[in-house]
Amino acid sequence: MKNLTMEQILNADFEVSKSSPILRPFDGSFVVADPSLLTPDVSHDKKWHMFLHTTLGVYHLISDDGVNFEKVQKVVGRAMRPNINRIGDTYYLFYERTLSLFMNALNVVNLTKWYSEIFVVQSKDLINWSKPEKALGHTKHYEVSERGTALSNPFLLQEDGVNRLYYSCGMNYIDDCKFCEPAHISYAESKSLAKGYASAEKPLISPDKNNPYLNLCSGCLKVYKLSDGYIGVQNGIYEKDGKSHSAIFLMSSADGLDFKFEKMLIEPCVVHGKDWMKQFVYASHLVRCGDTLRLYFNARDTSNPILGRECIGFAEAKI
């Protein structure tokens, strides 16, 4: 993204691909979510690689075209919301490490407290992975809520010898979904890639009752450096007409810390006659492929906790 300008990004019009959703829940899970990708120009084997989570953990999938993916392996359990990075000849996979599946289920019905922090595993070949190591632990009061303590949605940005992890934290309960979503967005920095991250004293973004797209939760934020600034791609959780929703919007920043809203990218709707993203569009990952920007994201059709399913698709824009 560093070769692109703010003007190019602001003028890009994203359209949801007719092939979407490209991934539906598998292996007994009711969700596939939070896609993070390596494009062929980054990966060692010139393939597309996607990392995502289900209710069972974080999985690795591979593709020749970025559309048709095959499952490679489950990388790690007790894991959600991955972020894959290649630094030199090593891959770093950051993720939210949770309690057990059973304990997570008890949290949904408010019988126990949620607890999660950010861990990382490393690999040279995307097949053999190191033991999990804690990258960022709980240290700040704003990471705690009535339902528990949550650090999630890590996203790495490297700059001037400093590693910055943007992350979501805290938990707000969404009544119609019957589960929690991240309340705030913050960041932590370290000289080391895999450990030693220190969190900011206060969040970057918090819910705002006066913001129509951010009046319930902050969702997650992915930050990209351009040639003349930074952009943030965020999904906010909001209430509208008595129901919760999520939409993906674009923000800009001069320093990567102070963001302002620029425009809506993807709102929930029935698209191409399909209702897979009718009520929510969630976490995304923006990648470049030649003269095309591709925004992968997961979406949910309904807030009904039993009937709702989360799938993954993408939207494209020419630059």
Tens of pLDDT, residues 295-314: 999 999 999 999 999 999 99
Task: Render the burial of 35-65: b for 16+ CB within 10 Å, e for the rest.
Answer: bbbbbeeebeeeebbbbbbbbebbbbbbbee
212 within some domain: yes
Sign of the CA dihedral 103, 104, 108, 114?
Answer: positive
What local confidence, expressed as pLDDT, does residue 46 receive? 97
Angle at 282 between CA 273 and CA 318, to 5 degrees: 70
Q: Is residue 62 part of a domain?
A: yes
The confidence band for 31, taking pLDDT boundaries of 50, 70 and 90, is: very high
Domain count, the chain: 1
CATH of the domain at 68: 2.115.10.20
pTM score of the predicted model:
0.96
Q: Tell me if 66 is assigned to some domain.
A: yes
Domain that holds residue 282: 6-318
1 occurs within a structural domain: no
**Do the domain assignments include residue 239?**
yes
Query: 56: pLDDT confidence band, cut at 50, 70 and 90?
Result: very high
